[in-house]
Amino acid sequence: MISAKVLQQLAETHGTPLFVIDHDEVRSNYAAFKKYLPRVQAYYAVKANPEPAIVKTLFDAGASFDISSIAEFLVVHENIKDMPEKERHDWILDNIIYANPIKANETLAELDSYKPLLTFDNLEEIKKIRQYAPNSRLVLRLRVSNAGAMVELSSKFGAEPDEAVDMILEAEKEGLSVEGLSFHVGSQTTNFENYVQAIDLAALIFREARERGYDKMNLLDIGGGFPAPYDESVRPFSELAKRINAELDRLFPADIKIIAEPGRFIAGTAGTSVSKIIGKAVRHGKLCYYIDDGVYHTFSGIIFDHCRYRMGSFKEGPTQICTVFGPTCDGLDVISMTEELPSNLERDEFLYSRNIGAYSGATSTWFNGFPPATVVHVNR
C-alpha cells in the first residue's frame, strides 16, 4: 500500500485531482489469482482499467487478456506489435478472448484474420459471425444466476441453458467451431454459490453436447466477478478459490482448458485518488466539503458501478458526518452524504480514497469542462 506521506507528496508535485496506480499491487493481485487458482489462465478484463501501463505490467507478468472492443484490442496489441507476424498471431490465438457477446460487423471483419476467440449467445450473432468472421473460434456464453452481485449482467447477456446445445449445433451447421462455454456470475460477486451452480450447469451442458454428438469443446471460461476486498464483509479470495477448484477438479478433466476474466480483482485495490477541497459550507445544518474530483470523473463508479468509495483525510481532528460533493454544477455529483471526516479541514487540504482502481477513471468524462484526474504510476 502506498503510504499517506507518499500520496501527499505526489499530490503536491503533480496537483489534483490525482489518480495513483500502484503497479506492485497489480502484480501482487495477479500473482494471488494464479496462486489460488493454479489451473485457471487469467485473462485480465481490460475494461476494468484500460490504462496502457497496467496492461504492460500484466503482459510482462504473463497475463492473457479479455477485451470488449477494438480499442481495447489495440491497447493490448501495442505489446506485441513488434513480434514476427506468425508469433504475433499465435500469441493472440492463445491469449486474447473477445468476451463481448454482441459485436459490430466492422469489429468482426477487422478481427477475422487473427482467428479470434469470441463469445456469442444468440442465433443472430451466429449469422453475423458466419458472414464477417468465419475464421473465428466460438465460446457460448450461458445465462447464470447473478444473485448477490453488485452489478447484475444476466438480463443483458447469456443463452438460456435449455437452448445451449441447440445453439452449439446451429453454429456447427453454419460451419463455425464452438470450442467451449462461458458464463459471468455478475461483478463483485460475494455469493460464492453462484460459481458452484454455474460450473455445475456448464458440466451438464458439456455432457448433453457429447450425448448429442458434439465433442469438440475443450474450454470453460468461468468469467469475472471475483470480488475485490473493499471492506471486511468480503470473504477471502482463497475461500472462493477453494470452492471453485473443488468443482473444476470434480467435473472437468485435466484436458479441458479453464480460463477466467478477472478485472476488478486485479485493478480494484491498485488505485487511489487524491483530491483537493475547493469549498466548504454548512447546508441545512450539515457540513459539506466540495472537492475537485467527482462522479463525472474518478468517482464515476458511484453511478456506473454501484460502488461506494470511502474518503479519508491526511489531517486528524474531531469528526462528524459530512456530505462530499464533486466540482460540477450537477446535483447528481455527490460522492457521499454520510462521510465521517474531520470538521476542521480547510480549503486546499487533501482527501483521498483507496481501492478505486477499477471501473472509476475508466469512465471519466470532461463534463462541465473539468478534466479527468492526472494519472501517476508508482512502482515500489
Residues recognised as catalytic: 329
d(CA 308, CA 306): 7
Q: Which are the contacts of 310, defined by CB distance < 8 A and separation ≥ 6?
A: 339, 353, 354
- Taking phi first (over 0 means left), then psi (-120 to 50 degrees means alpha), and beta for anything else, what does residue 298 get? alpha
H/E stretch holding 194 reads: helix 193-211
Q: How many CB atoms lie within 10 A of CB 4?
A: 15
Q: How many CB atoms lie within 10 A of CB 314?
A: 16
Helix (H, G, I), strand (E, B) or coil at 125: helix
In Å, how far are 77, 92, 95, 337 from 84, measured between CA atoms? Answer: 13, 12, 16, 55
d(CA 362, CA 345): 29
Q: How far apart are the first and last CA of the chain?
A: 9
Beta-strand ranges (E) seen in 127-202 are: 137-142, 149-151, 177-183, 187-189
d(CA 305, CA 152): 10
Cβ pair 236, 32 in contact under 8 A: no
Phi/psi of residue 5, each to 5°? -60, -45
